[in-house]
Amino acid sequence: MAGAVGTAGCGLRDDANGSGGDGPSRQFRIGDDGFEVAVDGGGFEPLSVRGVNLGMAKPGRFPGEAAITRAEYDRWLELMGELNVNVVRVYTVHPPAFYRALAAYNRSHAEPIYVLHGNWIGEETLREAGDATSLSAAFDRSIRQVVDAVHGATTVKPEPGYASGTYDADVSDAVLGYIAGIEWPPAVVAETDRVNAPGGYDGEFLAAPAGSPFEAWLAARLDAVVAYEADEYDAQRPAAFTNWVTTDPLEHPYEPFPNEDAVSVDPDAVAATDAYDAGTFAAYHVYPYYPPLLNETPEYVDYEDHRGEPNSYAGYLNDLVGATDHPLLVAEFGVPASRGIAQRDVHGRDQGHLTETEQGEILAAMYADIREAGTAGGVVFSWHDEWFKRTWNLAPFSDPNRRPFWSNVQTPEQRFGLLAFDPADAVPLDGSPEAWADATAATPERDPLRLGDGADPARELTAVRATSDAAYLNVRLEFVELDGEPDWDATNYLISLGTTGSDARALPYGVGGAAPADFVVRLGGPDDSRMTVYPRYDAFAFEYGAEAGLDLDRYRDPDPGDFTPLRLVINRGYTVPVTDEYVPFESVETGRLRYGNGNPESPEYDSLADVHVAPSSDAIELRIPWGLLNVADPSRRRRLADLWTDGLDTYETIESIDVAAASYVPADAEGTARPLDAPTNLTHAVPGVADGALSSRAFEPPTWDRPAYSERLKESADAVADVFDRYARREE
């Protein structure tokens, strides 16, 4: 790649925020191995990408509201720099505050943060169009707007779903390149290829002489934006289009779903002409657990990485890089630190149910895989958690119009970020009594049944408290005395939770008695604690029960005392081509409860902790994700209605949550209560037991319009900072 490229603009325009000043002039191009930058007319030097993807949403806002403030951008860019990030990728035009903040950051720091900028086209828009060529004019307008915005030379009128305002910060000297579009739906690629005659594309800056109609369309779109920037601003910079495993040019005979290997979009089909000195590259989104071909292809599963370990992710990257002539950027990679899980990876890099520490370890390992494969670098997905997101296996159970207003810790797609948004005033789950000062409380109406076996103090409850936030219902059991960890062979606890206002139902575990329970929590120690659901109210059984082979009659008309595990589907079953092996339907019991410390400031912090035992304050604390309680929108206190009558699209208001707690003596490992010479097999209950039925304390969760929250870098951020620093030092 020889020849000069046009210089971009510099700094911030003098009329923006009353300040200006020229920064260094930078030129960008693609070299043999990746990006290169020349500063102030000097020689080109390689630049390996250590990036993060930055979305446009925040809690309480959809991305189209463009509600991120200047102060937030300033703060986040500063944190990115501290994590050794050198590139931020954005998918669409952000509010003017982003570009002003970036210009200000780069003026005040010797090491700039560069930008890879995209233009957004909605997946539904593409699917409705079918033939992508019908969207050419709109696509070109959107990417021209990107060019004008980064040069600080446009005013965008307000339009629902998009950022607007006066773009007066010229950050073009920090724009490393453009990545156009989204992950292309295979159906759109196929339809575009079907209805358009082959013939390639021959442009001024980019050409696809033998490209398919879809590849030719992409070449024309890139050619148009490069030409526009050259004509309007006398500048060139690298440009590429988004791609993903589903439309890569490789053949994947072990992929079980034909749609995931039906069409190909090959970056090599699009090449720079002699007039395009900046050059093009390949940009891929690559995750370790999707599509299934990454788990099923033997040459990937058995591939030995640079550590000498089996690594399907590294195996795929090695294959992809070897089949691609252009330098390859992994423009998205990541795993989420969510409580819920959506897909497994054969080597443990799952889509969810990872602690923040595990998330960091995996991100660091993946970035190392990316670099050792000989790529141009990688961009972590994502900078911050995104509450508006949905995940395939949980999407039917929440109100799509209210997702940004609460934190669904069960949903992996919401928890990819390095930056967490914690609900304000959340219970730290570390035993601190002050966090429960304003909680709804109930005290015992009667004395406990004392057995004189030495375990009575841990069975005697003094109070049960309930509170909630934007992520959890929180319950605290308080005792006369917890002398260390309870003797779980001598004492278990049961918590009854009612959200539907039902009549009293027989309780499980042979404890005797009844309660208005839709959900029951059994605390039997770290290996024997779970939350269960009244079968008729089991959303998993309603939506996936037939596929899972469940006896649905049991769920429509449950037996007395029947409660069932809470589950999440992670695989709906498929047959692997070549081997004809059938991989059956798979689910996990997401109602199993994990013991640990939930306070991020504690050295013992476990981000997946559900239960904390605090002998120092004679308490056991529990936090229950709203998603486990069939709550479709806690901000409006709305839940799923009667599933078998109303389906999943009907919501009802939760007037209050009925909370009761009790202790009992387990007779076996399954938690069955030991028979006692009493009306029930319970040793103590709060508020109490009358005529064999637990009385409950009504807790009325608050509602809100905008969620209050605080920002926090996750533990994973440290691991990313370390791996970025390690590879940056190798390049010095």
Q: What is the pLDDT of residues 292-307, one digit of tens each?
A: 999 999 999 999 999 9
Between the alpha carbon of residue 432 and those of residues 425, 601, 616, the distances in Å are 12, 13, 9
Task: Tell me whether residue 1 is in a domain.
Answer: no
Give yes or no: residues 636 and 519 share one domain: yes
Task: Tell me whether residue 664 is in a domain.
Answer: yes
Confidence of residue 17 (pLDDT cuts 50, 70, 90): very low
* Token pair belonging to 3: 């020849």
Return all residues near 482 (Cβ < 8 A) that are at least 6 apart.
Answer: 457, 458, 613, 614, 615, 618, 619, 620
pLDDT of residue 3 exceeding 90, the answer is no
Task: Tell me whether residue 228 is in a domain.
Answer: yes
Task: Tell me whether residue 477 is in a domain.
Answer: yes
pLDDT at 677: 87
Give yes or no: residues 678 and 720 share one domain: no
Structural domain that includes position 221:
46-422+710-730
Task: Find the largest Cα–Cα distance for the chain.
Answer: 92
Give yes or no: residues 305 and 365 share one domain: yes
Task: Tell me whether residue 587 is in a domain.
Answer: no
Decide if 256 contacts 583 (C-beta within 8 A): yes
Give yes or no: residues 519 and 609 share one domain: yes
Choose among 369, 447, 357: nearest CA to 678: 447
Decide if 197 contacts 213 (C-beta within 8 A): yes
CA dihedral 399, 359, 711, 406 (to 10 degrees): 10
The model's pLDDT over 379-427, given as tens digits with 9 standing for 90+, comes to: 999 999 999 999 999 999 999 999 999 999 999 999 999 999 999 989 9
Helix, strand and coil content of the chain, in percent to the nearest 5, comes to: 25, 25, 45
pLDDT at 22: 63
- The CATH number for 162's domain is 3.20.20.80
- The CATH number for 670's domain is 2.60.40.1190
Decide if 37 contacts 44 (C-beta within 8 A): yes
Task: Tell me whether residue 505 is in a domain.
Answer: yes
Give the span between the Cα atoms of 11 and 152, in whole angstroms: 10
pLDDT at 305: 98
**What is the amino acid identity at position 107?**
R
Return all residues near 56 (Cβ < 8 A) that are at least 6 apart.
Answer: 63, 64, 66, 68, 90, 91, 92, 94, 163
The model's pLDDT over 624-677, given as tens digits with 9 standing for 90+, comes to: 999 999 999 999 999 999 999 999 999 999 999 999 999 999 999 999 999 998
- State the DSSP string of 391-449: -TTTGGGS-TTSGGGS--TT-GGG---SEEEEETT---SS--GGGGTTSEEE--SS---
Give yes or no: residues 463 and 374 share one domain: no
Give yes or no: residues 330 and 446 share one domain: no
Give the span between the Cα atoms of 682 and 689, in whole angstroms: 9
Give yes or no: residues 250 and 269 share one domain: yes
Mean pLDDT confidence for 327-335? 98
pLDDT at 23: 80
Q: Over 672-687, what HEC string results?
A: CECCCCCCCCEEEEEC
Give yes or no: residues 297 and 444 share one domain: no
Task: Tell me whether residue 556 is in a domain.
Answer: no
Task: Tell me whether residue 598 is in a domain.
Answer: yes
Decide if 38 contacts 45 (C-beta within 8 A): yes
Give yes or no: residues 389 and 437 share one domain: no
The model's pLDDT over 144-169, given as tens digits with 9 standing for 90+, comes to: 999 999 999 999 999 999 999 999 99
Give yes or no: residues 493 and 399 share one domain: no
Give the span between the Cα atoms of 641 and 647, in whole angstroms: 7
Give yes or no: residues 664 and 716 share one domain: no
Which letter, b or e, does each residue of 505-540 get, where b requires 16 or more Cβ atoms within 10 Å of its Cβ? bbbbbbbbbbbbbbbbbbbbbeebbbbbbbbbbbbb
Number of domains, the chain: 2
Give yes or no: residues 488 and 371 share one domain: no
